[in-house]
Amino acid sequence: MTTVAYQGEPGANSHMAALEAYPGAETLACATFEDAFTAVTSGAADLAMIPIDNTVAGRVADIHVLLPDTSLQIVGEHFLRIRFSLMGVPGATLEGAREVHSHVHALAQCRGFIRAHGLVPVVAGDTAGSAREVAEWADPAKLSIAPPLAAERYGLTVLASGIEDEKHNTTRFVVLARPRPYPQAGTDQFVTSFVFRVRNIPAALYKALGGFATNGVNMTRLESYMVEGRFAATVFMVDVEGHPDEPALARALEELAFFSTELRVLGVFPAHPRRFDANTAAPRTPGSGGRTGD
């Protein structure tokens, strides 16, 4: 049976993503992202379900540093629609509550509901962890904002559902595994994820990225971050639609490598159907260049 590691306590969104993507799999809760990576590296788990970005909060902190340093490979992605519920111990009421506990991002994403009901937000380390704590405290004046699964897990009563401010709230997860051969080109619609560092010359980034435009390769993610404590040492993390064995992407990567001092592919994996729903772009035909991104 497949075992999927995730960061967080049972009932967290990462737990829900693992169960949604791999029904029937065993799951392994880990305290940190590094622990989830280690679980896969050591063989304690087969896969790791790791959040990478969110439509409201943006990039998940630390991921841009951890992914390039791990020996693991991205083998898939999963999109989870984020839904938060307000929950308390049996007998608790919204009118009688004073505090609401959750992760800082969950509190921020439910700010309107919290303000409308005059609750005092209290930051917890984890959404599901806050639900566990509320259950342990057994204080009806203290509530939790957490995924619906947490209420089932900790025996809490759901007082309100879907309280997130933005109904498009979605998190994209990447699935990591020990290194394996890339899937064969032409069998699916693929995403290639990689990091690169450009040569320190004028217009290097412009020239490096030009090959994606001229070859019609759609770039869906481009983020930069500094490394080695130097403002001039910039690494870029990129997702593009396509497979490295397809001629268009192969040519673009060759041009990129010419202007780069470092280029490392993090993974080649099938595109999740939600990727095209979110982008409102027509799905590309395997082997074609796709459209040029903004």
Catalytic positions are 171, 173
Neighbours of 119 (CB within 10 A): 21
Give CA–CA dist 26/46, Å, rounded: 10
Give CA–CA dist 41/44, Å, rounded: 8
Q: How many CA atoms lie within 13 A of 132 on its CB side?
A: 13
- Residues in a beta bridge with 102: 123
Report the largest interatomic distance among the alpha carbons of the chain, rounded to a whole angstrom: 66
Contact 102, 146 (CB under 8 A): yes
Give CA–CA dist 56/1, Å, rounded: 34
Contact 293, 98 (CB under 8 A): no
Contact 179, 258 (CB under 8 A): no
Phi first, then psi, for residue 204 (nearest 5°) are -65, -45
Cα 192 to chain centroid, rounded: 16
Q: Which two tokens stand for residue 99?
A: 């505090």
Query: Counting every residue, how long is the chain?
Result: 294
User: Edge-to-edge, what's the strand order for the sheet holding 99-103?
Assistant: 120-124, 99-103, 142-146, 85-88, 157-161
Run of H or E residues at 112 = helix 111-116
Give CA–CA dist 189/118, Å, rounded: 47
